[in-house]
Structure 1
């Protein structure tokens, strides 16, 4: 045999030995219940092809499985996938999903049948370092009876993760008091570098962004009162954003909307009035007390300004201050009840114009908002509420539509 032939044989034997050695280590680790570092953190998973287990001869009770000695090793990316339950998951090997208490929801790769879309679902007392984790109340979608605190701790896998986005797919808690305080139930998000107000009431479809404080964990907690009967439920989608992500929310933005047009609202907004009375015994507010945060909209390409308007189908879509019941309903949402002398509850639209005329202030309150346009960047609406709602009777807050406007052709 030629020297070249012997070299080829030697290389082939080395390759077979190396493959069998690696597979043997992996198999032994799993058999002895050792904890392996999730390969998904390196953004790839190991695939063991032709992984048929053969039992040794002898009594079945003493059989020890061994790996068939010929394998191929490949890799696939741990991409986001859509499971057959329509939830977002991560593409991993089946064993990794099982080891990390995930739920297999269909295949996700054409490379191997072992690759499955893994959905990470957690409830009270859990922790996670996995992207696209879903956090539910116990027995969801059945209501949560209330009483005590239900929490999840979210820890970034490493310093490459900078931000957390929490989508409230469902969130129904006891309403605030007539003065806007979450004194019965409250969602709190703590441990991050961003301040998140206490949230209660009806908030399905809302979301928040929270900056991580280095690699310190963020705790999402729902506290409820067992003495108050209410059909509570929640389902949160928790997503981690890399520091290099194009979808990071800008600094100061608790909420961040990507579409060039849409709607935005304060927490617990609803066109129906609150049933609770405030501290002076009159119908209270739906607005949450003591909030101060920014709602941002990503500027689309070729757009130079943005216009905010009340949602036309809802007469109460801008009722921030004063007594709603004391005003002729036909005047609501008009300039006659719009105010810019705002010191308690208000929104801020930087450099605003109405009908092409610059406004004297960037603050808006009262019981109406005329369509308002701004070219100031970034596109942001700031919302501010205080803790005194004595004279703000039956207010709902704000529910606005927004639409970006194309740059003029010069």
Structure 2
């Protein structure tokens, strides 16, 4: 009989198991003291190419009023590609990180003083080089479903809280984000539709900065290549920002949405980021794309 082994590691630990939980000390109790917590992901075999890290529970302090993770942060090093610095509320999010040569992947979580409760529980899954669930190059996030919802990191509409006495008037949108969100085109589907559940990216509420495209989007934006409106009219733009998002479709493969924010959120008031739903659209006459 095979017996499943639950592998759990915390600060200072390491693991080369295919599946490992990485948590804060004394999880599920949160922590309030300042800490630097380091976890090392060791490549399981030479034929292991990637890890998926699911943020099962992940709450750190919010960024400061200009979108910088100056109080708490998750920093990923050692892997191929660049993972942006992440903080705030990110429960339910995930990332993919490639192994780079024989290097280990290092997760470092830093927290500062303050009475906000920080908590995290990550599921780290190692992925073989020939595994069909391996994310393509350039995809920090990867979805293998016909429908789903993608959120920017720290997306939300609540107050920005450093601790119980410090509320920030600024952005929840994080600075220096530059990554791809990919959706695997499944058999029988030829295009994808994107629609909004909430969108405020480099916009200023109540000043008429509604759904903006291309020339208006030069600091923070999402990119959807070759989009058209549901009625088939071309958008003639691929960058989207502002305080709303109009539903668009695209048949350009692969299905990728790019996220870009610059290093300056000083004049971006109350940005919440985005929550977008996707739906793959079946090919006409059941012809595969």
TM range (shorter): over 0.9
SS in 1 for 2:80: coil
Where does residue 321 of structure 1 map in the other structure? 202
Q: Does 1:304 align with 2:166?
A: no
Select the residue among 218, 223, 232 that pairs with 1:343: 218
If asked which structure has higher relative contact order (CA below 8 Å, sep 6+), I would say 2
Aligned length: 279
Structure 1: runs of 5 or more not aligned:
1-108, 110-114, 277-281, 312-316, 328-335
Q: Which residue of the partner structure matches residue 27 of structure 2?
A: 140
Name the counterpart of 1:14.
none
Q: State the Cα distance separating 1:323 from its structure 2 match.
A: 1.4
Name the residue aligned to 2:172.
286
Give the CA deviation at 1:322.
2.5
Match in the other structure for 1:379: 255
Q: Is the 8 A contact 1:325 1:394 kept in 2?
A: no
Q: 2 CA distance for matches of 1:141 and 1:263?
A: 27
Q: Tell me if the contact between 1:159 and 1:214 (Cα under 8 Å) persists in the aligned partners.
A: no
Residues 217 and 239 in structure 2, CA contact (< 8 A), matched pair in contact too: yes
The structure with more helix, counted as a fraction of residues: 1
Which residue among 368, 383, 388 is the counterpart of 2:264?
A: 388
1:156 correspondence with 2:43: yes
For structure 2, which runs of at least 5 residues remain unmatched after alignment? Answer: 163-167
2: CA distance between counterparts of 1:258 and 1:371?
21
Quick one: distance in 2 between partners of 1:212 and 1:262?
27
**Partner deviation per Cα, 1:116-171 (whole Å, 9 max, x = no partner):** 11111111100111011000100000011231211111111221000011000000
Q: Is 1:272 the equivalent of 2:145?
A: no
Ranges of 4+ aligned residues in structure 1 off by more than 6 Å: none
1:209-253: per-residue Cα shift (whole Å, max 9, x none)?
A: 00101221011111111x222110000000000000001111110
Quick one: distance in 1 between partners of 2:118 and 2:266?
28
Contact 1:325 1:393 in 2 (8 A): no
SS in 1 for 2:114: coil
Give the secondary-structure state (helix, strand or coil) at the position aligned to 1:116: coil
Name 2:55's counterpart in structure 1: 168
Equivalent-residue separation in structure 2 for 1:390 and 1:204 (angstroms): 26
Aligned to 2:104: 217
Greater Cα radius of gyration, structure 1 or 2? 1
**In structure 2, what is the Cα distance between the partners aligned to 1:380 and 1:202?**
24
State the TM-score, normalizing by the size of structure 2.
Answer: 0.93
Residue 121 of structure 1 aligns with which residue? 8
**Aligned ranges 1:9-408 → 2 under 5 Å:** 109=1, 115-225=2-112, 227-274=113-160, 283-311=169-197, 317-327=198-208, 337-340=210-213, 341-354=216-229, 355-408=231-284
RMSD between superposed Cα atoms in Å: 1.6
TM superposition score normalised by structure 1: 0.66
Question: Which structure has the highest strand share of the two?
Answer: 2
- Distance in 1 (alpha carbons) for counterparts of 2:41 and 2:223: 32
Contact preservation (8 Å) 2:55, 2:123? yes
Task: Please say which of residues 234-243 and 351-360 is displaced more in the overlay.
Answer: 351-360
1:321, distance to aligned residue in structure 2 (A): 1.6
Query: CA offset at residue 274 of structure 1?
Result: 3.4
Helix, strand or coil for the counterpart of 1:210? strand
